[in-house]
Amino acid sequence: MANLHIKNAIVEEASKKIPMSKRIMGRVPHAVFAEPLGPTESMGKDTLHLLSYKGAFLKPCPGTKEYICCGYQILNVATNCPLDCSYCILQSYFLHQPYLRIHVNLEEKLAPILAFIDRDPDRIVRVGTGEFADSLALDSLTRWTDILMQPFSERKNAVLEFKTKTNQIDGLIASPYRDRIIVSWSLNSPLISATEEKGAATLKQRLEAARRCQEEGFVVSFHFDPLIPHKGWREGYLKTIDLMDRYLRPHGIIWISMGSLRFMPDLKPIIRKRHPGTAILDGEFITGLDGKTRYFKPIRIELYRFMRQNLEQWYPDLGLYLCMESDEVWRKSMGGSPRDSEGLKGFLDDRVVQIFK
């Protein structure tokens, strides 16, 4: 349970008898039972909130029609995260829902999700748990790996991506399942990782964990998101690519996505308040077609072009793609474009077929 500092637990009445609640509470015997207090500036990152989630567990990633999206499905196992990245969009998404909220009825909700996947065996369903939480930061408590790896591993038309900034891979390694499982790390420059990703594993620790997963037979992926043009960013990102070269086998990496910092305007005052020392708000921003604040287009193109050229120099077949960018930015930075969301979805589905032969 490295790096977890759970002090309190809120367990909703209806969830007390659910087996997952009992297992989790057994793993935090020191936690003091508490009542919800409402929004807190700390976001309640030391408090577990165990509840039965009433909404849909599987939902398409909320892309926008103005940008090219990848057709990813989010498995909503939890919200909030014990790490504390300055740029984290969850700070505004869940402003009024603090605490580490764990959806303990996951096991009972899994059957309809698997039925949805099985309904059309020719359709590939790419699923991830790391959109509203870190996929592995709480795994020592929740053991999502025990619950999810077997059913996904047994299906040929689905993949499950665990996306993390930790090195908490014990649950993955202990599992006998490898097929259709993707272990994924968010990476950044050494400076951004060290100064803006509080509570995360160091870059070296992340890459050591990725190497171990490759040795153990897992398919891995990476996300350079958010790319941030800080002082010395070119040298910084080159150092990260050098580290990747030192630790990893590039052959068999299923994909590497790239995205640049973007956020709804209401996040800015929250970042200023919660992370007063941050340097991430210093750039040249515009308001994008989706209302989000993002870097001025030529800056985004330069970031992606630089990363693409250097990553492709390392290895030419890494499944590089952009997250939520326009056709124009794709063409000017990547040398070509999938044109639309269907095109990008097809590209990533083909990667699944190619890598999990």
Contact positions toward ligand SF4, by CB under 6 A? 81, 83-85, 88, 90, 133-134, 165
Who's near 321: CB < 8 A, 6+ residues apart?
Answer: 70, 255, 256, 257, 258, 338, 344, 347, 348
Q: How far is the CB of 171 from ligand SF4 (least distance, A)?
A: 17
Q: Which residue has the tokens 């077929």?
A: 353
Measured CA distances, 5 to 135, 141, 206, 231 (Å):
17, 12, 20, 33
Q: How far is the CB of 160 from ligand SF4 (least distance, A)?
A: 18
Name which of 14 and 264 has its Cβ closer to ligand SF4.
264
Measured CA distances, 89 to 43, 285, 296 (Å):
13, 16, 19
Q: How far apart are alpha carbons 201 and 207 in whole angstroms?
A: 10
- For residue 203, give the H/E element and its range: helix 203-215
Name which of 76 and 153 has its Cβ closer to ligand SF4.
76
Q: How far is the CB of 123 from ligand SF4 (least distance, A)?
A: 28
Name which of 25 and 90 has its Cβ closer to ligand SF4.
90
Q: How far apart are alpha carbons 137 and 120 in whole angstroms?
A: 32
Distance of CA 269 to the CA centre of its chain: 23
Contact 334, 58 (CB under 8 A): no
Residue 92 phi/psi, 5-degree rounding, is -95, -35
Measured CA distances, 230 to 160, 192, 234, 320, 340 (Å):
33, 8, 9, 22, 30
Q: Which of 330, 356, 354 is nearest to 344 (CA)?
A: 330
3-state SS, 42-84, equals CCCCCEEEEECCCCCCEEECCCCCCCECCCCEEECCEECCCCE
Q: In whole angstroms, how large is the CA radius of gyration of the chain?
A: 20
Q: Which residues pair with 75 in a beta bridge?
A: 58
Token output for 312: 């492709």
Q: Which residues pair with 73 in a beta bridge?
A: 60, 127
Q: Peptide bond before 29: cis, by omega within 30 degrees of 0?
A: no
